[in-house]
Amino acid sequence: MKLGRRELLAMAAAVPSSFARAEMPADLDASGLQAVLDSARSPGVAAAVIVRDLRWQGAAGFANLETRRAMSATTPVYIGSVSKPLTAALALLLAEEGRLSADSRLVDLLPGWSFGAEGDAMALRHLLTHTAGLPREGHPYWFTGVFPQAGDLRRIASAGLQSAPGAEWQYSNLGYALIGQTLMRAGRGTYAELLRSRLRAPLGLANTGVGQPADLARAYTAPGRRTGRGGQDFAGHGARVGERFERVYHGAQAMTPAFGVHSTARDLGTFLSALLADAAAEARSPLRAINASMFTVQHPFDDGGGWTFGLRATSDAHGAYLRHNGWFAAYRSHVQLRPDRGTAIAVVANADDSQPEAIGAALFEVVRGLT
């Protein structure tokens, strides 16, 4: 049975959240967390929860409906736009190495590229905060299934900006794809190599990378869902499985830094934990130099939130927090960080009607007494 956000929160509220710290094992293992996943699978979901020095990970449902392969916290999925915080972290790490800076202009980072009449003022910080004036996509790949190469990005970017850099906020996948191009030039390697050397190896992210791993979870559409904007069919539909269709794209090409990385709930939890470690002054981590930039609003909104370098700052009844959601083919994901509480949550799922953000909220309801 698939529950909505209201039902998930109600169920979580019924689970005792006043666990005494001394009563918890070294690895957080609350039955209430697993109950949230058991009630939310559609068809598979996995999560990692970090509460300071306590950790929990779990899964429910299936990574493959035909073979009945179980979903696990180490099952790779495409994480969609949750790729963006990883890309932002790479940019900030290269900045710490002096290879670029947030204020570096794109015309300097990508010599020979043209960004239109106002493009000379566009800096890396504008791309990181979605304020460069670039369009969201600039390419119909969701309907063709054909993703741009670097040459295509160069042509799309040359069409010019929709607004002056810094003037307006406009979420842009194209912007993060361009960040990927700057990273490869500054870091002297492919995006996959930079991801491996700066994040995967130092943090031990065993199942995070670029490409299509052999044990990738299958992803499934909601029953009857095929069409997108304007009545057009989304690309990537495969075989029918019951009421659903398999749906997957085979590589995002130059858009990978924006939404094409694969990872697992466990790896995302490890990444978030590495960011939190220094924020809580509990440990040193390879990300010790960049967490302030990822936790600080760089472009504020009128509602008190805004965008950091890589994350959306927002708030709920429990205070301010940082988040990002992802969606690629029928894979969906959600991460949230609450640095003041030392808490982080990562959720991944393999159906386009799953609700990872609602699941994340329900998981936080279970553990918030610990914080």
The full DSSP string for 303-357 is TS-EE-SSSEEEEETTEEEEEEEEEETTEEEEEEEEGGGTEEEEEEESBTT--HH
Q: Are 137 and 173 in contact (CB under 8 A)?
A: yes
Q: Are 127 and 305 in contact (CB under 8 A)?
A: no
pLDDT value for 275: 92
The 3 state secondary structure assigned to the chain is CCCCHHHHHHHHHCCCCCCCHHHCCCCCCCHHHHHHHHHHCCCEEEEEEEECCEEEEEEEEEEECCCCEECCCCCCEECHHHHHHHHHHHHHHHHHCCCCCCCCEHHHHCCCCCCCCCHHHCEHHHHHCCCCCCCCCCCCHHHHCCCCCHHHHHHHHCCCCCCCCCCCCCCCHHHHHHHHHHHHHHHCCCHHHHHHHHHHHHHCCCCCECCCCCCCCCCECCCCCCECHHHCECCCEEEEECCEEEECCCCCHHHHHHHCCEECHHHHHHHHHHHHHHHCCCCCCCCCCCHHHHHCCCEECCCCCEECCCCEEEEECCEEEEEEEEEECCEEEEEEEEHHHCEEEEEEECECCCCHHHHHHHHHHHHHHHC
pTM here? 0.90
Tokens coding 163:
């607004």
Tokens 């329900």 correspond to 362
pLDDT value for 222: 87
pLDDT value for 229: 67
Q: Are 251 and 25 in contact (CB under 8 A)?
A: no
pLDDT value for 26: 39
pLDDT value for 15: 38
| Pick from 183, 177, 342, 190: nearest CA to 274 | 342
pLDDT value for 66: 94
Helix axes 5-13, 31-40, angle to 10 degrees: 160
| Pick from 182, 157, 201, 199: nearest CA to 294 | 199
> Which residues are CB-neighbours of 231 under 8 A, at least 6 positions away?
none
Beta-sheet strand order (sheet of 54-64) = 69-70, 54-64, 44-51, 343-349, 331-338, 319-328, 312-316, 306-307, 299-300
pLDDT value for 70: 96
Phi, psi at 130, each rounded to 5°: 60, 40
Q: Are 325 and 356 in contact (CB under 8 A)?
A: yes
Pairing mode, strands 312-316 and 69-70:
unpaired
Say how many CA atoms lie within 13 Å of 338 toward its Cβ: 22
Per-residue pLDDT of the chain (371 residues; tens, 9 = 90+): 344 555 544 444 443 332 223 233 334 557 889 999 999 877 999 999 999 888 999 999 999 999 999 999 999 999 999 999 999 999 999 999 999 999 999 999 999 998 877 888 999 999 999 999 899 998 888 888 889 999 999 998 888 888 889 889 999 999 999 999 999 999 999 999 999 999 999 999 999 999 999 999 999 998 877 666 677 778 888 888 988 989 888 789 999 999 999 999 999 999 999 999 755 444 567 887 888 899 999 999 988 899 999 999 999 999 999 999 999 999 999 999 999 999 999 999 999 999 999 999 999 999 987 76
User: Residue 110 CB: number of other CB atoms within 10 A?
Assistant: 20
Q: Are 363 and 12 in contact (CB under 8 A)?
A: yes
